[in-house]
Amino acid sequence: MAEYADEPELVRRAARAAGRAGFGRSCHPAQGRLLRVLAGGVAGGTIGETGTGFGVGLAWLAAGAGPGTTLTSVEQDPGRHAAAAELFAGVPNVTLRHGDWTDLAAAAPFDLLVLDGGGQGKGAEPPLEPRDWLRPQGCLVVDDFTPMSSWPPKFRGEPDEARLHWLRHPDLLATELRLAPGLATVVARYVTPAPGPARRSSRTPSGLAG
């Protein structure tokens, strides 16, 4: 992976470890920069990540996180987990878990949650439910899509249901960002109704606005 002047040292070290192992699925630098910015918006909160890999994305997150922000990431592969654990050994606000992504639930709720190795609903497994994982107004990032070129977005010629799930989720304000010519990511805010008196239904029995 090419190195750039603004890459934090921990990102470089993680990327080199991934390179030595021949691991090609580390976070793209453009995605990393986005993560760094988003982490900066979490003042004193909690950040979670599924799929640590060698810790490239996590290193970007840690670079952006302010004082008091804690970060937890989970990885199922023992070798990758061990490499990342060694890398982050001296970073006190970072916790690495070895196990299935669902183990990350123990550290929830999150102010920022990055799904990069489980919970995305891309395969046969159902996606996670934002209200079980995020604090109100928390941010969700689902990485690694091909930028959409039409609506609805398609995957292998069919509507991309995994992406549409996030873009249409009733608890999320979500959008797709194109970060590089062939790379897009979905960023969403978990929104909850404002507290206050219960609202009347907007529909009368006749179906007209009340």
By rule CB under 6 A, what count of residues binds ligand SAM? 20
Residue carrying structure tokens 């529909």: 203
Which residue among 117, 130, 138, 153 contacts ligand SAM (CB under 6 A)? Answer: 117
Burial of 197 (0-12, 13-18, 19+ CB in 10 A): exposed
- The contact pattern for ligand SAM, residues 150-189, with x = CB under 6 A and - = no contact, is ----------------------------------------
Single out the segment in contact with ligand SAM by CB under 6 A; choices: 1-9, 64-72, 110-118, 196-204: 110-118
Q: Does residue 100 belong to the site contacting ligand SAM (CB under 6 A)?
A: yes
Nearest Cα to Cα of residue 164 among 142, 183, 180:
142
Length of the chain: 210
3-state secondary structure of 116: coil
Widest pairwise Cα distance in the chain: 67
Which residue among 10, 11, 17, 27 contacts ligand SAM (CB under 6 A)? Answer: 27
Q: Does residue 76 belong to the site contacting ligand SAM (CB under 6 A)?
A: yes
Give me the least distance between CB of 157 and ligand SAM, in Å please.
Answer: 24
Give me the least distance between CB of 76 and ligand SAM, in Å please.
Answer: 4
150 Cβ neighbours under 8 A, 6+ residues apart: none
